[in-house]
Amino acid sequence: MEDRALKKPGKIYVVGTGPGDISHITPSAQQAIAGSDIVVGYSAYVELIKDLVEGKEVFSTGMTQEIDRCRKAVELALDGKIVSVISGGDPGIYAMAGLVFELLRQREGDVLLPAVEVIPGISALNACAARLGAPLMHDFASISLSDRLTPWDTIERRLNAAAMADFVIVLYNPKSKGRTEQIGKARKIVMKYRSPETPVGIVRGAMRENEVAIVTDLGGLLDHEIDMQTTVVIGNTNTLVWNNLMVTPRGYEKKRHFSR
Ligand code: SAH
């Protein structure tokens, strides 16, 4: 047993900092950061909220070093510190919350564990849907195209299932510098079940200075710039385009019609 076994642990806030600028961070998230001794996060996300972390101790690392960041946060909290682990968007969606719990689970029994509070944030799907109109009014499936941690077979199976069941599909991590093929493969799978005219929204840098939102269709999906700051939303078979906005009808109009 280490000395720390009897030491009073600190606390870990796993904080969602939203899609971009500070106006899209919740007051709870801002309070958690303000009340922390140290902020741990991916350097690009820390940069986006630099006004909030001014004067605070910061531990930041590159994008793929999530495990190092979470380990550091756990160590600091075991030493009695109040730590904010920050994630862009929501911390429980393709982000850090799960990893923090997994690491704490490994320490269970050795030491007194710190309290953990997850503070939700506006995820890319909320931000991008808002920019596109109202594409998520009906059932949707979110699929990450990153095969860094998930086998590509599994991703293909999910794409097929979601497309077959007519879910609106939100694609996270559609493309990066080193991962360029997946978006084309995903489009091909969805095309087995939906027409080339199916509306598609592409949003890059939602709520950031470089924001671009495009409404196109499945046929034209690959003609636009897509990168790791982009989320793609593929409509279902009822999604329509009105005034350059994507709208997935929920059925209110039909209901009114039937009840007459
Ligand atoms: N936890 C984050 C997701 C992290 S995965 C969240 O809840 O939003 C990273 C992926 O999220 C990116 O590749 C991109 O697909 C999407 N993303 C994050 N921020 C975005 C933004 N501002 N605009 C568009 N897509 C974004």
pLDDT for 141 equals 98
As a whole number of angstroms, the distance between CA 233 and CA 137 comes to 12
Q: How far is CA 61 from CA 27, 68, 84, 166, 230, in A?
A: 25, 8, 14, 39, 22
Give the pLDDT score at 48: 84
| Residue minimizing CA distance to atom 13 of ligand 1 | 173
Q: Where in the chain is the domain with CATH 3.40.1010.10?
A: 11-122
Q: How far is the CA of 228 from the centre of ligand 1 (A)?
A: 8
Ligand 1 neighbourhood includes 199 CB (under 6 angstroms): no
The pLDDT score that the predictor gives to residue 128 is: 98
Inter-residue contact 72 to 65 (CB < 8 Å): no
pLDDT of residue 6: 64
Q: What is the pLDDT along the chain (260 residues), one digit of tens a residue?
A: 456 656 789 999 999 999 998 899 999 999 999 999 999 999 888 888 888 998 899 998 887 788 899 999 999 999 999 999 999 999 999 999 999 999 999 999 888 999 999 999 999 999 999 999 999 999 999 999 999 999 999 999 999 999 999 999 999 999 999 999 999 999 999 999 999 999 999 999 999 999 999 999 999 999 999 999 999 999 999 999 999 999 999 977 666 665 54
CATH 3.30.950.10: which residues of the chain?
Answer: 125-259
Which of 15, 24, 25, 94 for a ligand 1 pocket mutation test, highest count of atoms within 8 Å of Cβ?
94
pTM for the whole structure: 0.93
Q: How far is the CA of 209 from the centre of ligand 1 (A)?
A: 15
- Decide whether any atom of ligand 1 lies within 6 Å of the 208 Cβ: yes
Quote the pLDDT of residue 260. Answer: 47
What architecture does CATH give domain 125-259? 2-Layer Sandwich (3.30)
The yes or no reply on domain 11-122 and CATH 3.40.1010.10 is yes
Query: Ligand 1 centroid to 53 CA: how many Å?
Result: 21
